[in-house]
Amino acid sequence: MDGFLEIILAGTLAGTLSRVMLLRIDYRQYPGYPHGMVAHLSLGVIASAIGAVVVPALLKPDFAAVTFLALAAQQFREIRGMERITLENLDRNELVHRGNDYIEGIARTFEARNYLVMGTAVLTGAAYHLGNLLAAVIMAALAIIFSRSFMSGETIGDICRVEPARLYFQDTILKVDEIGIMTVGLKEMREKILQDGLAVKITPLNVNARATIHDLGQRMAIAHTAAVILGIKKDIDTPELTPLARKNIDTGDVGLYIVPMEKDMEALLLAVKRTPVLESARSKPLATQAGRKAARKNV
Amino acid sequence: MSDSAVKNKILAVITLEMNRVSGGAPIFLATTEEEREKTARYLGRILDAAVHDLENGSYIIVAH
């Protein structure tokens, strides 16, 4: 009976540590700090405690105890729902929307992280039981490293080339290089946009990337990230200043237009590059034979 | 975005040529380009909507 307590403690500790490490990556996407942080840390502790109990339950052997893992899974699904609802409510008052795809991605991430935490706790508990404290520490470190690298996905900079582009008007149509963005009727607004606006062109590196930035949710996420990082001049009564990402229907390149608070091209390029590739937007036409065949024709 | 087609709506028309417009949205007749520009600016701000130039003498105010 004595050994069980140590196993549970080791597992819980490792799981909680893992949650803390994963939480650090969250700040950029989710401003729930510090109350959101408390909520997520508490849930992380609970998840790791549940995970940590698995090994002792098996040793006891009390197999019925393992069934509450199913209960835990149910709880974590609720976390996803909770995150989604919170973010959707917040998004309604955002001048530049995150978009449902981005929100769904964040919510899913929060759910998945709890499973990772639980897994870390199980593995650490098992390592402690089968080996010793050192084995548990090594296992915990491995699990945390895996979780971090596993959960930090690709960014736009990985799959696309992002370059400064020319922002100009053709009559009243605002254009980013050859891509038409929208029409702007008012002269003063056109002057404002030319004076303060910035534009970048996002060129996909391959067909998979093209399919990804074709996704409207992904483009909203790019515009949102850029707006959050550089600030935005838009207010509720100036919809013309909304950052927009439109694509060249022939090449699949995307032009992004924004009127930022800080007119800094370098910063804009970095902001666009670090936008996460959304899970829901990621697609791999090249993984199919038909997709590869279609791509060859285009080259 | 799929419901954007339903949301996009012409809220008002500001025109220099009354004989080229008709229909459901309120129409504002302007006599000079400056007046058209000014009316459009005011309406755009009041309605929180974007001003578009149809380049046929009419501006439209569209809620996106």
B49 touches chain A (CB under 8 A): yes
Same domain, A8 and A139: yes
Same domain, A145 and A7: yes
Position A293 in a domain: no
Same domain, A40 and A120: yes
Same domain, A89 and A122: yes
Complete DSSP assignment for A169-188: EETTEEEETTEEEEE---HH
Which residue range(s) make up the domain with A16?
2-152
Same domain, A165 and A98: no
Same domain, A113 and A170: no
Contact B51 A182 (CB under 8 A): no
Q: Judged by CB atoms within 8 Å, which residues 209-268 of A form the interface with B?
A: 216, 220, 236-240, 242
Same domain, A128 and A43: yes
Same domain, A133 and A55: yes
pLDDT in tens, A222-280: 999 999 889 999 998 899 999 999 999 999 999 999 999 989 999 999 999 999 899 88
Residue percentage of chain A with pLDDT more than 70: 95
The number of distinct structural domains making up chain B is 1
Position A291 in a domain: no
Closest alpha carbon within chain A to B13 = A185
Position A290 in a domain: no
Same domain, A16 and A131: yes
* Predicted confidence (pLDDT) at residue B7 exceeds the cutoff of 80: no
The number of distinct structural domains making up chain A is 2
Distance CA A125, CA A131 (A): 10
Same domain, A231 and A206: yes
> Residue B48: helix, strand or coil by DSSP?
coil
Q: Shortest CB distance from B53 goes to which of A172, A237, A239?
A: A172
Show residues of chain B in contact with A240, CB under 8 Å.
50-51
CA distance A143 to chain B (A): 39
Reported as a pLDDT band with limits 50, 70 and 90, residue A69 is confident
β-pair type (A198-204, B27-29): unpaired
Distance CA B30, CA B53 (A): 14
B64 touches chain A (CB under 8 A): yes
**Exposed, middle or buried, A152 (CB in 10 Å: 0-12/13-18/19+)?**
exposed
- Residue A165 Cα distances to A177, A211, A267, A279, B33, angstroms: 6, 21, 14, 27, 32
pLDDT at A106: 85
Show residues of chain B in contact with A171, CB under 8 Å.
53, 55
Q: Quote the tokens at residue A282.
A: 């990621």
- Mean pLDDT score across all residues of chain B: 88
Same domain, A183 and A228: yes
Q: Judged by CB atoms within 8 Å, which residues 160-179 of A form the interface with B?
A: 171-172
* Predicted confidence (pLDDT) at residue A94 exceeds the cutoff of 90: no
Which residue range(s) make up the domain with B35?
4-63
Same domain, A226 and A116: no
Cβ B54 vs Cβ B7: under 8 Å: no
Q: Which H helix or E strand runs over A255?
A: strand A254-258
Q: How many CB atoms lie within 10 A of CB A173?
A: 15
Reported as a pLDDT band with limits 50, 70 and 90, residue B2 is very low
Position A171 in a domain: yes
